[in-house]
Chain A
Amino acid sequence: MLKKILILLILSFTFNLQAAESNKGSMPKHKWSFNGITGTFDRAALQRGFKVYREVCAGCHSMKLLYYRDLIDIGFSEAQVKAIASEYDVLDGPNDEGEMFERSARPADRFVNPYLNDNEARANNNGAYPPDLSVITKARRYGEDYIYNLLMGYEEPPEGLEVGNGMYYNKWMDGNQIAMPAPILDGSVDYDDGTDTTAQQLSEDVVTFLKWAAEPELEVRKNLGIKVILFFLILGTVVYLAKNRLWRDVH
């Protein structure tokens, strides 16, 4: 009797689970270099991804949590970072006369926001707020796979679906309508290193960059993780053997 109830409960539970899963549709997984326990970022892909961010995304999306100095991590030299930063202007001050002034950005400055404030961002984007991208892969379900699919998920809306004014159809967006027009097309960005500039390649690179931006500690973390787990495994084995020896004489 009890067992039957238990089995029934578990069965209904799993059926329900499956139903819930099939409603959502599964998120296609992409093969990333940073996946797996020894995953690392491809430095060339990160630098290309930064170029995509700078030339495409940064028009609307801020990355408030990043500093230009962080770019040294992805393989830029200090001089290169200085040069990149100097292309942006920041408002500084007040100076000795009490005036605010503009100067070019330095490596110690945060990534310059494309808009003065959130209201300006909304006003320029049809009322939609372009989210900050600093931790975007951590802030969405399915993380990098979702962002990649979203970038590649623009399609003609299916028959009979009315897309709102200033909205675009996207397979992976909640509710299938997104205020952002397809940002990445074949050849949107020119690469200096001769890499293909297909939309897939551009999206893959920029998502790699975003993943690094969200989890810059990823490589150090995984590396340390292997050592810590090995430590516990070895210590555990030794202690286990000692325990068997010790308990052998307990009767």
Chain B
Amino acid sequence: MSGNSEPRKYKNPVLNWIEFRLPIISYFQKEYGEYPMPKNCNYFWSFGALATITLITMIVSGIFLAMNYTPHTEMAFDSVERIMRDVNYGWLLRYIHSNGASFFFIIVFIHIVRAMYYGSYKYPRELNWILGVFIFLLMMATSFLGYTLPWGQMSYWGATVITNLFSAIPIVGEGLKTWLLGDYTVGNATLNRFFALHYVLPFVIFGVVGLHVAAVHVHGSNNPAGIDIRSKNDTVNFFPYMLIKDTIAVCVFGVLISAVIFFGPNLMAEVDNYIPADPLVTPAHIVPNWYLAPFYAILRAVPDKLGGVLLMFGAIAILFVLPWLDTSKVRSCNFRPMYKWFMMLFFVNFFVLGYVGMLPAEGLYLLIARIGLVYYFGFFLIITPFIGWIEKPKALPLSISDVYLGGGKEAPVPVSEKEIH
């Protein structure tokens, strides 16, 4: 900071006045104007922007919902329906918020798939990846808390099942559960604290997203070729080149999410959640939100309660160490002929886990969940380190500029020679 050259000059005196006292104008110019993006970035690189926009949409719609919501077991269900019926455009707010949560996870899943496939988690972006996993964890907690608020059958029983998991912990489990619930069972105390936490956590997410973005801007964005930026010719400025692509992505996303919000707003919801919570009636199948289903499948695939809980949290925890489990120096799976297929299978496997997580845990579904569980952990603990050692990667292109012009694949340079250039 102190080493910086003299402050920039702007035509607008107000900007100059601010810049002299707080160099925020040049900061935004540097980070969002001139920020160099690799030319060859495809539309997968728009999902970070989409996620940010969705987060802001969720926060804004959530604030307006909170103004009309009553966190009390006797009134919560009716207050949500009152929002839908009597608040001006309340139905729109609520459907944006409930479907927005689902789409937020779709976006973030694709964002994570992109990071894994193109090796964005590797040196020097490990901390960035860790922050991302942390955001994902916070998102899951927030969505779980939010799902409780309408106080329908799934809200109540989902909260009961999930908080019950903590009682599996030896010795302190029961006490911990009671402490979390504020009562011996899920009740008004629980609903109140869940509402408070659901309100505050998105702002924590927003803060971590700030760090996440700041961290990626230090070494710049990864790209589909997974090679470093070598010259100015490899990049374009974020503004307007990437911004315009992100805008297209927003429009496509807008069409998709609008189709659901306006024409099938309850497609992603569980019908049981339109039945007010009743502690005396257990629904036939208690299912989590679809985006938590892969982890729910892992939980139920283990016959032992504590084991299931450990593996479920382990499934997320293991993501934190992925940068050190991967022994290959090549980032992009485009140049990793073997790992590429295991990676694809991992995505399919995750999808299958999610599917069986929504179905009763019995018979074939249980078997599939167990196979999926083994592959999930096998992929990280065995396949990822092992393939890194034995795989012979394809030759990497010379530069991003070559890739962009389509010459990268025709004039390959072996990996060993790459370092010379």
Report whether chain A binds chain B. yes
Q: B83 to nearest A CB, angstroms?
A: 11
A37 to B259 Cα, complex, angstroms: 10
B368 on the A face (CB < 8 A): yes
Chain A residues contacting B248 (CB-CB under 8 Å) are 236, 239-240, 243
Evaluate contact between B258 and A235: CB separation under 8 angstroms: no
Tier of interface size on chain A:
35 or more
Q: A225-B258, A225-B263, A239-B248 given as contacts; is B240 within 8 A of A141 (CB)?
A: no
Residue of A nearest to B281 (CB): A129
B24 on the A face (CB < 8 A): no
A229 on the B face (CB < 8 A): yes
Q: A9-B348, A13-B352, A224-B92 given as contacts; is B262 within 8 A of A138 (CB)?
A: no
A123 on the B face (CB < 8 A): no
Residue of B nearest to A17 (CB): B355
CB under 8 Å from chain B, chain A span 98-144: 131, 134-135, 138-141, 143
Evaluate contact between A251 and B405: CB separation under 8 angstroms: yes
Main secondary structure of the interface of B (DSSP, over half): helix
CB under 8 Å from chain A, chain B span 232-290: 236, 240-241, 244-245, 247-248, 251-252, 254-255, 258-259, 261-263, 265-266, 271-272, 274-275, 284
A233 on the B face (CB < 8 A): yes
A228 to B365 Cα, complex, angstroms: 40
Q: A176 to nearest B CB, angstroms?
A: 15
A65 to B255 Cα, complex, angstroms: 32
Residue of A nearest to B367 (CB): A12
Chain A residues contacting B405 (CB-CB under 8 Å) are 251
B147 on the A face (CB < 8 A): no
Residue of B nearest to A245 (CB): B244
CB under 8 Å from chain A, chain B span 312-346: 341-342, 344-345
What is the 8 Å Cβ interface bit string for chain A, positions 35-68, against chain B (1 contact, 0 not)? 0010000000000000000000000000011000
A139 to B266 Cα, complex, angstroms: 10
Chain B residues contacting A242 (CB-CB under 8 Å) are 244
Evaluate contact between A235 and B251: CB separation under 8 angstroms: yes
B81 on the A face (CB < 8 A): yes
What is the 8 Å Cβ interface bit string for chain B, positions 68-87, against chain A (1 contact, 0 not)? 00000000001001101100
Chain B residues contacting A228 (CB-CB under 8 Å) are 254, 258, 262
Residue of A nearest to B236 (CB): A250
Residue of A nearest to B153 (CB): A139
Evaluate contact between A2 and B342: CB separation under 8 angstroms: yes
Instruction: Name the one of B85, B263, B344 contacting A222, with C-beta atoms under 8 angstroms.
Output: B263
B91 on the A face (CB < 8 A): yes
Chain A residues contacting B265 (CB-CB under 8 Å) are 221
A139 to B236 Cα, complex, angstroms: 51
B111 on the A face (CB < 8 A): no
Q: List 12 A-B contacts (CB under 8 A).
A: A9-B349, A13-B368, A37-B263, A131-B275, A135-B81, A224-B92, A225-B258, A228-B258, A229-B254, A231-B254, A243-B245, A250-B236
Query: Which residues of B come within 8 Å of A, CB atoms?
Result: 39, 78, 81-82, 84-85, 91-92, 95, 236, 240-241, 244-245, 247-248, 251-252, 254-255, 258-259, 261-263, 265-266, 271-272, 274-275, 284, 341-342, 344-345, 348-349, 352, 355, 359, 364-365, 368, 404-405
Known: A13-B368, A65-B78, A222-B262. 6 other contacts (CB 8 A): A9-B348, A16-B368, A139-B274, A228-B262, A236-B255, A243-B247
